[in-house]
Amino acid sequence: MILKDVSFRTPQENILFDEVLLHLAEQGATPQTLRFWESKELFIVLGKIGRLKEEVCVKSALQQRIPVVRRFSGGGAVLQGPGCLNFSLILSKSQDPTLDDLHRSYRFILGKVAQALSLLKVEAVFQPPSDLSLKETNKKISGNAQHRARRYILHHGTLLYQFDLIQMERFLKMPRQMPFYRRNRAHEDFVANLPLKGEDLDIKKAFQRVFGAEQEQNHLTLQEDACLKDFLKNKPTLVDLNNSVIF
C-alpha cells in the first residue's frame, strides 16, 4: 500500500481525486492507497443522493460564499475545513473477505482506525453504520462513506482534531435520519475534536503503521494528473445554490 498526502486548492479537486484513485485502481494502474488531505477553506460536501435544501442551510452558505460540492459516495452532508483531516483508502476486495460486504467492511476498517487512534491514547468505538465516537463521551469524531466498484472499494472518512465545531450549526441542518447513538443531539452536543495536544498530533504516522502504508508517493503521477483533469472537465461536482442544480 502506498501513502499519498495530497491536498488541492479547490474543493472539486479534493473530492474528485478520490474518484481518480479508485478509477485507476480498477484499471490496474495504481495499487492500494492511503490518502490524506485537508482543506484550507470551508466548504460543504453532499452525498451522492443528498438533498441540498434538506441538509444544508442554503441562505447561510450563500451569504458566506461557502461552496457546496457533491461526492460520488453515499452518506450525509459534511462541512470541510481546517482542523478536519480526511483519510481515503483504496482497498482491493481480495485483500480480506470482510471487504466484500458493506456492513462488515465498515466494522473492519473502522476497527483499524480505532486501533490507530489507540496508539495516540484515544479510545474510540465503532457506531453503526459508519461512525466512530469517543468512548468516554459518546461524541462523534469520524464520519465515513464508501463507493464500491467491481474489484476495489473507496472508503473515505473524516477525523476532527482542531475543527471549529460551531460552524456546523451555521451551515448544516439536523439530518432527518440519524444513528441511534446520536439521540437527537444538536451538532455542538454530538460532535467533538480528538482530545490531542500539539505534540500528539501524529495521526498520519499511526495510520501508516496500522494500515501498512510504507511507500510514500506525495505527488501526482502522469496518469493521475491526466485523469483528474479529465474528471474536472467532464464530471461537474459544484452545486448551484441559487437554483439547487449541478452546473
pLDDT at 240: 84
All three cell numbers of 97, joined, read: 473477505
Within-domain flag for 139 = no
Within-domain flag for 219 = yes
- Tell which residue, 158, 171, 139, has the closest CA to residue 82: 158
Within-domain flag for 114 = no
Span 59-117, pLDDT tens digits: 999 999 999 999 999 999 999 999 999 999 999 999 888 999 999 999 999 999 999 99
pLDDT at 37: 97
Within-domain flag for 138 = no
Within-domain flag for 113 = no
Give the CATH number of the domain where residue 157 resides: 3.30.930.10
Within-domain flag for 135 = no
Residue with cell 452558505: 61
What is the average per-residue pLDDT within 171-190? 93
First-last CA distance in the chain = 36
Span 123-161, pLDDT tens digits: 999 999 999 999 999 999 999 999 999 999 999 999 999
Q: What is the DSSP letter of 10?
A: S
Q: How confident is the model at residue 199 (pLDDT cuts 50, 70, 90)?
A: low
pLDDT at 201: 66
Residue 41 has pLDDT above 70, yes or no: yes
Sequential DSSP letters for 193-231: -----GGG--HHHHHHHHHT--EE--S--HHHHHHHHHH
In SS3 terms, 84-135 reads as EEEEEEEEEHHHCHHHHCHHHHHHHHHHHHHHHHHCCCCCEEEECCCEEEEC
Within-domain flag for 186 = yes
Report percent pLDDT > 70 for the chain: 96
Residue 245 has pLDDT above 80, yes or no: no
pLDDT at 177: 87
Q: Distance between alpha carbon 13 and the CA centroid of its chain, in Å?
A: 14
Lowest mean pLDDT among 12-21, 38-47, 190-199: 190-199
- Cβ–Cβ < 8 Å for 81, 39: yes
H helix or E strand, kind and range, residue 152: strand 152-160
Residue 170 has pLDDT above 90, yes or no: yes
Number of structural domains the chain divides into: 1
pLDDT at 190: 96
What is the average per-residue pLDDT within 151-176? 96
Q: Which domain holds residue 12?
A: 2-94+144-246
- Cβ–Cβ < 8 Å for 122, 43: no
Residue 234 has pLDDT above 50, yes or no: yes
pLDDT at 61: 96
Average pLDDT, the chain: 94
Residue 247 has pLDDT above 50, yes or no: no
pLDDT at 1: 95
